[in-house]
Structure 1
Amino acid sequence: MSLLKEAVERMVIGADHVHAAATVRRRQRQFVPPSELYPVGTRVDTALVDQLFYATVDECPDPHCRPLLLDRVAHDVWSTRKLVDWACFITSETYCGLPAELVDEQASADSVFRPSVTFRRLAAEYHNSKAINSIYDACTAAQLREAADTAVALVDGLQVWGADFLYQ
């Protein structure tokens, strides 16, 4: 990454460091970040969603890093949608469909991983192939933040535990 690009990304997220594929130390990543899985349009802040993914995978020790990134994502409906679609796609590929634990409140009550209410609602729309922009537009910033956080945590859990993640 060029010094200029890194400096701009630092200013954008408000942190003193940047997360990227080259900075991930903790483990070999199994999944690609959202920008590599889906061709992105101009509406999605790819640097932001990728940094959130890498910060999670790397278990960034800075207590302000992930919250800053999540706050930024929460103000960008398109980036949040990209994260939720990305997590749902990876989960669907892992389990040959979205498990009930991710879309149904009753089923998720007994699981170790508890997806947020907003994530379950958005995942159900994805599962039913009816995901439309208006459902994301109706979400508050706090709801978008929790959905983005759930999406990244889900992919990180699948990366560590594989298909056992939801059924531990």
Structure 2
Amino acid sequence: MVITTDHPHRERAEQRRKFVPPSRLHLPDVPDRAEDALLDQLLYATADGCQDCRSMLLDRFAQDAGATHKLVDWACWIATEVYGGLPAELVDEAATADTLFRPSLTFCRLAAEYRARGRTSSGMYTAREPAQRREAADTAVTLVAGLQRCWTDFLYR
């Protein structure tokens, strides 16, 4: 399912992109899906600062455990590459107090699992309520967009 708007996001976002969009990335243990285009749209809308599209797409993610799984693992993979591992500020709820970026509690718990095992499991997403999946997706895409703009300074500025 692709959500269309009367305005594009992809063209501008691709000019600034540092990361391969999720639709083109194969993550072990996370199957590729027809809905992966939604992941790209969410990244582009976030990078462009379009809150209307972002909100609409996050609402869609709240209903899709598989898409949220891929998005969170993608964000954790990128953060691991950028920082040489997931920093405490992304996995430890107490450590987030030292940053301007405040990852959600759900994201921290999923990221802690990713750090421990190198991935998260599908069951971790299906067991969560849609509101928790939405907040995890919101944190994940905000993290990737922030790293794209500010690189390692994103967590510590």
How high is the TM-score relative to the length of structure 2?
Answer: 0.89
Is 1:167 paired with 2:136? no
2:73/2:120 contact within 8 Å kept: no
Moved over 4 A (4+): none
1:14/1:68 contact within 8 Å kept: no
Unaligned runs of 5+ in 1: 1-7
Cα offset for 1:165? 1.0
| CA deviation vs aligned residue, 1:120-159 (integer Å, no higher than 9, x gap) | 0111111111622221111110000010010000011111
The match for 2:46 is 56
How high is the TM-score relative to the length of structure 1?
Answer: 0.83
The match for 1:81 is 69
Unaligned runs of 5+ in 2: none
Aligned pairs for 1:38-49 (under 5 A) are 38=26, 41=31, 43=33, 45-49=35-39
- Give the secondary-structure state (helix, strand or coil) at the position aligned to 1:97: coil
Distance 1:18 1:137 in 2: 31
RMSD (Å), alpha carbons: 2.0
| CA deviation vs aligned residue, 1:77-131 (integer Å, no higher than 9, x gap) | 0100100000000000001000000000111012111000000011111111162
The match for 2:56 is 68
- Give the secondary-structure state (helix, strand or coil) at the position aligned to 2:120: coil
The match for 2:83 is 95
Distance 1:111 1:45 in 2: 32
What count of residue pairs does the alignment treat as equivalent? 154
1:88/1:126 contact within 8 Å kept: yes
Report percent identity of matched pairs.
Answer: 56
Larger Rg: 1
